[in-house]
C-alpha cells in the first residue's frame, strides 16, 4: 500500500477551471461579486453564501491576487474553495476543499509542484564530525538537505521553499521527496555511512503508510535502519500523542531519532523529555560566539550533562570558527557541524573531500 496523501499532488488548475467558493458572510459575498464584475468575469451565485466562476488556467493567478487584495485574513481563512475541471463537484472532489488562504499559496506555489513533478530537486549534504578522540574532525555522518531548482536551473533558497510549501499545504510532498532523495542520492554516489534525514512530523498522516516510500528507498539502497537517523524539526506544532506514534514506528523499525534546535525555547526542552532521542542538536543561536559568552557556556554545559546522564549523544551545529569548536570540545560535546568544517554541497563534492574510510560507519 502506498500513501496517496503523501505521494500525490492533486491538480487544482485545469485548462478550464470551475472555482466554487463558500464565503463566510453576506458582506464578503457582495464584495467578491463586485470584484468579479470589475474583472469582467462571468459568475453565478447559488445558495446563501456561494459563488461559482469559470476561468481559464491562465486566469487563476489573477484570481489569487484579487482575492488576497479584497478579503481580510479572517475571511481568507474562513472562505472555502474547490476547483474542478468544468464539472459539478462530486464526492471524489471533497478532499480538495481548502480555505482561500491555502488556495492563494497553492496558486503562488505552483513552482514547487512543477519542480517536484519534473525532478528539479536534489540532495545536498553537510558532514557531522567527531569532536574529539582519534577521529577528531572526521565525519561521523552526513545530513541530507533538499535543494529545489527553478526553470533557469538556479537553486531556490531552501528556507523560502519550505515556508511556501507549509503555507500551501505542500509540506507532505516536499518532505517525502527530501527523505527519499537524501538516502538514494548519497548511496548512489558511493557513501556507506550514517545519514541524517530531516523530517517534519506535521507532514505525516499515518506513519506506517506515509513512511513506506522512504523505508523502501532505504531497503533498496542496501542500508540498515540503524544507518539512518530521522531528525525532527518543527515539533511544536504536532500533537504529542501523534508524535509518539510516529516515533514508536521509527524505533520499532530500528531507526534512530535526533531532536533539532534543543535550547532554542521551552518547547525544545519539553520535547527532550517527550522524545527521549538518540541525538540532540544544540541550537546554533547558543553556539554562536559561545567562546565569549559565559551564560551560553553554562546553558550548553548543563544540556550536555543532562543528555549524557540519559545516554543521548550531543551535536553542536552552526560552528563557524575554531574558537567556538574549541569551547565546545572543552565541554565534551560529542559531535560538531558547521561551515568551519564544510558548507552544504552535492554528494559528489562531499565525497571528493574525504577518503572513503572516513565516510564509512
Per-residue pLDDT reduced to its tens digit, 221-238: 778 888 999 998 765 567
The whole-number average pLDDT for the span 81-103 is: 89
pLDDT band of residue 87 (cuts 50, 70, 90) is confident
pLDDT band of residue 195 (cuts 50, 70, 90) is very high
Residue ranges of domains in the chain: 4-107, 114-359
- Residues 62 and 68: their CA atoms lie apart, in Å, by 10
- Residues 197 and 248: their CA atoms lie apart, in Å, by 17
Residues 128-171: tens digit of each pLDDT: 999 998 889 999 999 999 999 999 999 999 999 989 998 998 88
pLDDT value at residue 98: 94
287 by DSSP, 3-state: which?
helix
**pTM (predicted TM-score):** 0.86
176 with 6: CB under 8 angstroms?
A: yes
With 70 as the cut, is the pLDDT of residue 259 above it? Answer: yes
Pick from 39, 46, 56: nearest CA to 22: 46
CATH architecture group of domain 114-359 = Alpha-Beta Barrel (3.20)
DSSP state for residue 134 in the 8-state scheme: T
pLDDT value at residue 4: 47
Answer whether 4-107 and 114-359 agree in fold: no
pLDDT value at residue 265: 53
287 with 317: CB under 8 angstroms?
A: yes
- Residues 272 and 259: their CA atoms lie apart, in Å, by 7
CATH class of segment(s) 4-107: alpha beta
pLDDT value at residue 20: 96
Residues 26-80: tens digit of each pLDDT: 999 999 999 999 999 999 998 889 999 999 988 999 999 999 999 999 999 999 9
pLDDT band of residue 11 (cuts 50, 70, 90) is confident
SS3 content of the chain, % helix, strand, coil (to 5): 50, 20, 30
pLDDT band of residue 288 (cuts 50, 70, 90) is very high
217 with 180: CB under 8 angstroms?
A: yes
Phi and psi for 97 in degrees, rounded to 5? -65, 135
Pick from 95, 91, 82: nearest CA to 13: 82
Instruction: Give percent above pLDDT 70 in the chain.
Output: 89
Q: Which residues on adjacent β-strands are paired with residue 128?
A: 141
CA distances from 234 to 74, 105, 163, 198, 262 (A): 24, 20, 12, 10, 11
E strand intervals along 238-299 = 256-262, 279-282
With 90 as the cut, is the pLDDT of residue 291 above it? Answer: yes
pLDDT value at residue 91: 84
| Average pLDDT of the chain to the nearest whole number | 87
The whole-number average pLDDT for the span 3-25 is: 81
pLDDT value at residue 330: 95
pLDDT band of residue 263 (cuts 50, 70, 90) is low
Length in residues, the chain: 361
pLDDT band of residue 266 (cuts 50, 70, 90) is very low
- Residues 113 and 207: their CA atoms lie apart, in Å, by 23
- Residues 203 and 272: their CA atoms lie apart, in Å, by 20
With 90 as the cut, is the pLDDT of residue 300 above it? Answer: yes
Amino acid at each position: 500500500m502506498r500513501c496517496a496523501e503523501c505521494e500525490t499532488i492533486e491538480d487544482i488548475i485545469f485548462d478550464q477551471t470551475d472555482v466554487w467558493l463558500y464565503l463566510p458572510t453576506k458582506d464578503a459575498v457582495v464584495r467578491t461579486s463586485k470584484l468579479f464584475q470589475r474583472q469582467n468575469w462571468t459568475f453565478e451565485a447559488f445558495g446563501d453564501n456561494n459563488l461559482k466562476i469559470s476561468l481559464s488556467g491562465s486566469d487563476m493567478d489573477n484570481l489569487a491576487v484579487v482575492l488576497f487584495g479584497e478579503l481580510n485574513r479572517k475571511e481568507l481563512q474562513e472562505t472555502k474553495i474547490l476547483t474542478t475541471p468544468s464539472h459539478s463537484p462530486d464526492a471524489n472532489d471533497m478532499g480538495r476543499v481548502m480555505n482561500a488562504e491555502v488556495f492563494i499559496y497553492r496558486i503562488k506555489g505552483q513552482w514547487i509542484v512543477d519542480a517536484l513533478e519534473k525532478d528539479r530537486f536534489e540532495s545536498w549534504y553537510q558532514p557531522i564530525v567527531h569532536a574529539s578522540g582519534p577521529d577528531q574532525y572526521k565525519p561521523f555522518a552526513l545530513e541530507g538537505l533538499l535543494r529545489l531548482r527553478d526553470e533557469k536551473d538556479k537553486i531556490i533558497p531552501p528556507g523560502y521553499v519550505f515556508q511556501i510549501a507549509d503555507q500551501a499545504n505542500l509540506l507532505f510532498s516536499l518532505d517525502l521527496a527530501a527523505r527519499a532523495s537524501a538516502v538514494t542520492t548519497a548511496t548512489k554516489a558511493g557513501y556507506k555511512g550514517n545519514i541524517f534525514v530531516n523530517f517534519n512530523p506535521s507532514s505525516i498522516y499515518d506513519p506506517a503508510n506515509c513512511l513506506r516510500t522512504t523505508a523502501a528507498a532505504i531497503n533498496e539502497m542496501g542500508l540498515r535502519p540503524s544507518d539512518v537517523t530521522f531528525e525532527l524539526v518543527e515539533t511544536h506544532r504536532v500533537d504529542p500523542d501523534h508524535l509518539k506514534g510516529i516515533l514508536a514506528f521509527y524505533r520499532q523499525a530500528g531507526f534512530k531519532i535526533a531532536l533539532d534546535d534543543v535550547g532554542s525555547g521551552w518547547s525544545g526542552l519539553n520535547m527532550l523529555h517527550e522524545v527521549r532521542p538518540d541525538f540532540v542538536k544544540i541550537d546554533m543561536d547558543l553556539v554562536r560566539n559561545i567562546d565569549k559568552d559565559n551564560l551560553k557556556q553554562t546553558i550548553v554545559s548543563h544540556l550536555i550533562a543532562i543528555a549524557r546522564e540519559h545516554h543521548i549523544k550531543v551535536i553542536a551545529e552552526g560552528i563557524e570558527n575554531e574558537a567556538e569548536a574549541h569551547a565546545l570540545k572543552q565541554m565534551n560535546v560529542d559531535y560538531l557541524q558547521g561551515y568551519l568544517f564544510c558548507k552544504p554541497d552535492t554528494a559528489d563534492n562531499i565525497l571528493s573531500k574525504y577518503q572513503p574510510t572516513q565516510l564509512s560507519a
